[in-house]
Amino acid sequence: MENIIRIENLIFDYPREEGKDVLRAIKGISLDIEKGSFTAVIGRNGSGKSTLAKLLNGLYVPTEGVIYVENWDTADDNHVWDVRQTAGMVFQNPDNQLVSSIVEDDVAFGPENIGTAPDEIRTRVNKALNDVRMGEYRLKAPHMLSGGQKQRVAIAGVLAMKPKCIIFDEPTAMLDPKGRHDVLRIIKNLNAEGITTILITHFMDEAVQADRVLIINDGEIILDGNPAEVFSHADEIKDAGLDVPVAVELAVRLRKRGIKIPDDVITVEDMVDFICQYK
Amino acid sequence: MSIQVRNLSHVYNKGLAAEQKALDNINFDIYDGEVVGIIGHTGSGKSTLLQHLNGLIKADCGNIIIDGKDITKQGISMRDIRRRVGLVFQYPEYQLFEETVAKDVAFGPKNLGLSEAEVESRVREALEMVRIDYDEYGQRSPFELSGGQKRRVAIAGVIAMKPQVLILDEPTAGLDPGAHKDILNLIKDVHERQNNIIILVSHNMEDVANLSDKVMVMDRGKLIMVGTPQEIFSRRDRLEAIALNVPPVTEMMYEVKERGIEIDTSPLNIKSAEDVIYNYLKRIEMNR
């Protein structure tokens, strides 16, 4: 399979005020992201995961090492817009991402800025809003929407740029249960349609739905694999100040009491299946 | 100390096309020392209710009686209400503004007109409660701290006013699992030490289930259920109908039951789910 993102020996330092040491947020990461894949990135606040996200779409450039997005070097000024169109970003707070007073204007903002023809803008906006199931709200004011709906509009705004990859930085952190559920379903649909998906999250039940899970701690990748592989390292994950998914936690506890539970019981569904085989 | 709310209603944009009944005839009692969880989807009226409780919004009609005093009456001093009722907003770290952590926490108590010595002692006590070391961080800028630390400092600013009612709106939103646990523990500590009423609004059903003595459920401006966590989360279908859910472990127990297995769906936390599943599997094993 082809890789859409290649990261080689990445180091990133935040400059500090005079007289202070720089803060090294990324301490040597090499990583490839396969086209069409769904990768979840987990790490505590300050672990470097959001910094990594901002490096991926050229908001920051590497201090050392190199990042290629579709073979464009993110540090190359001539291709910064190519990089950003290829890899779109959705942030935590939808209120900070919406700019217009009408939903469809907001979605049109990106394509307008790159000089897309009006007919094409119309087509893209309609498709993007339908993809996030917000078509019927296209003439509403964003501030009248719920958090989950706003976040879906923000996603539509990114979709209208026709990205090949979307990086979601804790997109559900501020949402209620329904909003979280809806946004996650949209993310999974978009991935199923071929958009490479990188989901940064603190919710382990979201992470288990990815094909691949990366755990970042203190600027380094400490675990990388499919959810079953990664979450079998429950102790290491807890040492990094993180949680494991509910089903994994239960499995660990039940194993300690002598119940034999297979290692690939990771999701709630897995655990339900496991229990239900004993009737 | 207790709270009585009677026939409380509030309408936004009264008389306009966008008129919306945010609170619709709300009635409830909260007793001394209770921890109350409020759940409801976005727009259900939770935040409007909180703002009434600390006098930020004046009631259209109805009464809010806190410690025997009706705060909806004319001539009630706002300072008096806020001395009793402390509100920690969502993402309170965005409200930090002072040059140093100590000054930021001192802002509230100072405004209560307390002596300098008293303010100083309250700042130390509040920072200790949120586990921020005064000597290490007191003179630092709050903006140098991590997200979790900033939030704890912001909460300390409210705790330092020693409110008899402490209201927290989504106190754990956006935090990593470690910082999330820190905040929950700190809420428990504050409750133990100040023995105040705590009102917690959260989308995290597990937190609500495990912290609250009583849960109140809001939907479209109405208070539709009040009960113990056990009572409320035994009504999964009713909650789902209003876009809410039960804690993840509880959801798992329901799914097992739906597959035709006779199992207790009451566990609200991992420990009790573990016991129920263990006992079920052992019983099956013995019958073989």
Tokens 């039951």 sit on residue: B257
A158 within 8 A of B224, measured Cβ to Cβ: no
Is residue B208's pLDDT more than 90? yes
Same domain? For B276 and B265 the reply is: yes
Q: How far apart are CA B51 and CA A182, in angstroms?
A: 28
- Contact at CB, A257 and B278, closer than 8 angstroms: yes
**A140-166 average pLDDT score:** 93
Interface mutation vs chain B, best among A150, A275, A277, A279, most B CBs within 10 Å: A275
| A267 exposure class (CB count in 10 Å sphere: 0-12, 13-18, 19+) | buried
- Does the residue A178 lie in any domain? yes
Residues 6+ apart with CB under 8 A from B103: none
Question: Three-class SS string for A159-204?
Answer: HCCCCCEEEEECCCCCCCHHHHHHHHHHHHHHHHCCCEEEEECCCH
Q: What is the pLDDT of residue B244?
A: 94
- Does the residue A66 lie in any domain? yes
Interface mutation vs chain B, best among A140, A204, A246, most B CBs within 10 Å: A246
**B12-17 average pLDDT score:** 84
Tokens 């992201």 sit on residue: A33
Q: What is the pLDDT of residue B240?
A: 94
- Does the residue A34 lie in any domain? yes
Helix (H/G/I), strand (E/B), else coil: B86: strand
Q: How far is A107 from chain B (nearest CA, A)?
A: 23
Interface mutation vs chain A, best among B13, B145, B150, B176, most A CBs within 10 Å: B176
CATH of the domain at B13: 3.40.50.300
Is residue A19's pLDDT more than 70? no
Name the residue of chain B whose CA is nearest to A202's CA.
B176
More confident residue, B147 or B3: B3
Point out the least confidently predicted range of A15-24, A181-190, A211-220.
A15-24
- Contact at CB, B255 and A254, closer than 8 angstroms: no
> Which residue type sits at A117?
A
Number of Cβ within a 10 Å radius of residue B230: 12
Instruction: Give A18's pLDDT tier (boundaries 50, 70, 90).
Output: low
More confident residue, B81 or A157: A157
Residues 6+ apart with CB under 8 A from B265: B234, B236, B250, B253, B254, B257
Same domain? For B164 and B89 the reply is: yes
Q: What spatial distance separates the first Cα and last Cα of chain B, rounded to whole Å?
A: 57
The beta-carbon neighbor of B179 closest among A45, A178, A250 is A45
A97 within 8 A of A149, measured Cβ to Cβ: no
Name the residue of chain B whose CA is nearest to A260's CA.
B281
Chain B contact set for A241 (CB, 8 A): 176-178
Same domain? For B233 and B286 the reply is: no
Q: How far is CA A257 from CA A249, B250, B252, in A?
A: 13, 21, 20
Same domain? For B119 and B241 the reply is: yes
Average of per-residue pLDDT values in chain B: 93
Average of per-residue pLDDT values in chain A: 93
Same domain? For B8 and B50 the reply is: yes
DSSP B90: S
Q: How far is A45 from chain B (nearest CA, A)?
A: 6
E-only strand ranges, B15-108: 20-30, 35-39, 61-66, 69-70, 85-88
Buried b (16+ CB within 10 A) or exposed e, B236-269: beebeebbbbbbbbbbbbbbbeeeebebebebbe
Is residue A84's pLDDT more than 80? yes
Chain B contact set for A170 (CB, 8 A): 174
Chain B contact set for A269 (CB, 8 A): 255
Q: How many domains are contained in chain B?
A: 2
Q: How far apart are CA A184 and CA A172, in angstroms?
A: 8
Same domain? For B137 and B257 the reply is: no
CATH of the domain at A188: 3.40.50.300
More confident residue, B78 or B111: B111
- What are A's interface residues with B at a Cβ cutoff of 8 A? 43-46, 92, 144, 146-148, 170, 173-180, 202, 204-205, 241-243, 246-247, 249-250, 253-254, 257, 259, 268-269, 271-272, 275-276, 278-279
A178 within 8 A of A148, measured Cβ to Cβ: yes
**A42-65 average pLDDT score:** 92
Name the residue of chain A whose CA is nearest to B251's CA.
A268
DSSP A242: -
- Does the residue A191 lie in any domain? yes
Same domain? For B48 and B73 the reply is: yes
- Does the residue A24 lie in any domain? yes
Q: How far apart are CA B99 and CA A256, in angstroms?
A: 50
| Percent of chain B surpassing pLDDT 70 | 100
- What are B's interface residues with A at a Cβ cutoff of 8 A? 18, 41-43, 146-148, 173-180, 203, 205, 243-245, 248-249, 251-252, 255-256, 259-261, 263, 270, 273-274, 277-278, 280-281, 284
- Does the residue A275 lie in any domain? no
β-bridge pairing A64-69 and A3-14: antiparallel
Point out the least confidently predicted range of A70-74, A108-112, A168-172, B282-286.
B282-286
* Domain of B14, in residue numbers: 3-246
Buried b (16+ CB within 10 A) or exposed e, A155-192: bbbbbbbbbbbbbbbbbbbbbbbbbbebbbebbbebbe
Same domain? For B83 and B161 the reply is: yes
Q: How far is A161 from chain B (nearest CA, A)?
A: 27
Q: How far apart are CA B255 and CA B264, in angstroms?
A: 11
**A247-260 average pLDDT score:** 94
- Contact at CB, B278 and A176, closer than 8 angstroms: no
Same domain? For B266 and B157 the reply is: no
**A92-106 average pLDDT score:** 90
Strands, sheet with A23-34, edge to edge from the N-terminal-most edge strand:
A23-34, A3-14, A64-69, A72-73
Q: How far apart are CA A138 and CA A103, in angstroms?
A: 5
Q: For chain A, how many residues are written?
A: 279
| Residue A189, both tokens | 């649909």
- Contact at CB, B41 and A176, closer than 8 angstroms: yes
Q: How far is B274 from chain A (nearest CA, A)?
A: 6
Same domain? For B97 and B129 the reply is: yes
Give me the interface pTM, i.e. the ipTM.
0.83
A223 within 8 A of A236, measured Cβ to Cβ: yes
Q: How far apart are CA B168 and CA A37, in angstroms?
A: 39
Element (H, E) at B134: helix B134-137
Same domain? For B12 and B89 the reply is: yes
Instruction: Give A144's pLDDT tier (boundaries 50, 70, 90).
Output: confident
* Domain of A192, in residue numbers: 3-227
Same domain? For B60 and B19 the reply is: yes
- Does the residue A240 lie in any domain? no
Is residue A145's pLDDT more than 70? yes
